[in-house]
A = this chain, B = another copy of it.
Amino acid sequence: MKIAILGYGVVGSGAYEVLASHGYPVKRVLDIRPHDELGDVLTANYDDILKDKEIGVVAEAIGGLEPAHTFVVKALKAGKHVVSSNKHLICTYYEELHRLAIENGVTLRFTSAVGGGIPWLYNLKRSVRCDEVTKIMGIMNGTTNFILDAMITDSREFDDVLKEAQALGYAEANPSADVDGLDTARKTAISSSIAFNTIINEEDVSIFSMRTIQKCDIEYIVGRLGKTVRYLGFGINNGDSASVFVEPAILSYKAPESNVCKNFNMITLFGNSVGRLSFFGQGAGKYPTGNALAQDVIDIVSGSCELSFSPCELKVDNGSHKRQYYIRTKAHLEGEFIESAEKIGANNHIITKPMSVKQIHTLSKAILVSDSSSFFAGFEE
């Protein structure tokens, strides 16, 4: 089965590179712009894909509603599997596209539409096969998380950080879809629809914009309340109804979401049997999102993720990886490897220079002979 990719923008080109570099047969890429590196693979005529019997799966990375909707509907009606990274399309035509896929006996996948490189929707769909998901929540928008993280870490004002995010390409010239919550609302609606096996539209989602947050709010939340704040989408199954909303959320510093920094995402499901299950990673970007789009394609062309086994020879050599170590021991140590040493009571607290896993493990055996209570820990950057 061969693959076509619709759109050669950020995500489409990322998916193309991921698939092609791993030997998956991308026969066509649809784009109206010239891309010499694609040679004959490039076409501006959708019929070259639609009428090609070899092409069994169409990966849509155009974005927006049209022409993506028309192309996807034609592909499904032509009996081609469809993969999409387009949250606007999936959220708007959720029911129509699923019904068309069923009617035509093909698969519809859109893992990359929510959470970028994080296989969130795929794992959520896998979970609901044998679990009752009662709640989903998550940091689903990297732009707003980057802004909040910078405001909290460097005590800066919203507008100041937004300008930086725009300069870095993390935020659009018009940031409304991110900071006013529509992007998170669509992702929350799609996630809630799968989690609760229902159909939730973006209009159903109550949204608080995070645009009005100020330094004084951070000071109050952090300084007075001893908590922190992130921008979250929520879907909660109340049994007879669902609550679906997007809000700045005040969190304990011990909450996993509190350590989601920069433009990372974290999305969580709560299942009756699995408990809390969270997925953390890059919520956007050419290669992460391209990777997620490619993964859905590969599930279809190679029938999910079944067994292959052709192991390579890879010698374990713990002499090659170096890091600094902390040593606490009553033993008296001397040598080049010591960066700093401090004696507190009977104990020497030592920080080593970078040394290999093999070196420290060999050294530790000698140290443990003179003080079997000695403790060793490596510094993980």
Contacts and interface: CB of A to CB of B under 8 A. Distances in A.
Interface of A: 14, 17-19, 22, 24, 95, 98-99, 101-102, 107-108, 117-119, 122-123, 125-127, 129-131, 137, 193, 196-200, 204-206, 208, 212-214, 216-217, 220-221, 224-225, 229, 232, 236-238, 240-245, 247-251, 253-256, 258-261, 264, 271-282, 285, 287-288, 290-292, 294-295, 298-299, 302-307, 309-318, 320-321, 326, 328, 342, 344-345, 347, 349, 357-358, 361, 364, 372-380
B250 A380 contact: yes
A220 to B, nearest CB: 5
Name the 8 nearest CB pairs between A and B, nearest first: A304-B304, A243-B321, A241-B317, A248-B377, A198-B314, A278-B280, A273-B287, A204-B316
Given A198-B313, A316-B204, A378-B250, A291 B245 contact: no
Given A273-B14, A375-B212, A126 B255 contact: no
Given A275-B282, A287-B275, A288-B274, A241 B315 contact: yes
Number of copies: 2
Nearest to A290: B273
A162 to B, nearest CB: 15
A244 B295 CA distance: 27
30 contacts: A95-B311, A98-B307, A98-B309, A101-B307, A102-B307, A107-B307, A119-B123, A126-B295, A126-B305, A129-B302, A193-B311, A198-B311, A198-B314, A206-B318, A213-B375, A217-B328, A220-B349, A221-B326, A236-B321, A243-B318, A243-B357, A245-B318, A247-B376, A250-B326, A273-B287, A274-B282, A274-B291, A274-B292, A276-B280, A276-B281
Given A259-B256, A358-B206, A375-B217, A243 B277 contact: no
A304 B307 contact: no
Contacts of A376: 208, 247-248
Q: From DSSP, what is the main secondary structure of chain A's interface residues?
A: mixed
A117 B127 CA distance: 10
A378 to B, nearest CB: 5
A208 to B, nearest CB: 5
Contacts of A377: 208, 213, 217, 221, 229, 247-250
Contacts of A200: 314, 316
Contacts of A221: 326, 377
Contacts of A129: 22, 295, 298, 302, 305
Contact of A220 (B224, B264, B344): B344
A309 B197 CA distance: 8
Task: Output the residue of A196, A249, A273, A292 with the most chain B CB within 10 A.
Answer: A273
Nearest to A310: B197
A45 to B, nearest CB: 28
A252 B180 CA distance: 32
A125 B321 contact: no
Given A122-B305, A312-B197, A312-B198, A241 B320 contact: yes
B375 A248 contact: yes
A158 to B, nearest CB: 10
A316 B241 contact: yes
